[in-house]
Amino acid sequence: ESILKSIDKGVDYKAVEQSKKFTWEKTAEETIKVYEEVCK
Query: CA 9, 21, 40: angle at the middle one, nearest 5?
Result: 150
Specify the pLDDT at position 18.
84
Report d(CA 33, CA 9) in Å as an integer: 37
Write out the residue range of the structural domain in which residue 33 sits: 2-39
Report d(CA 27, CA 29) in Å as an integer: 5
How many domains does the chain divide into?
Answer: 1
Specify the pLDDT at position 3.
63
Report d(CA 12, CA 19) in Å as an integer: 11
Specify the pLDDT at position 12.
77
- The 10s digit of each residue's pLDDT in 1-40 is 566 666 666 677 777 788 889 899 999 999 999 999 999 8
Report field, pTM of the whole predicted structure over 0.95: no
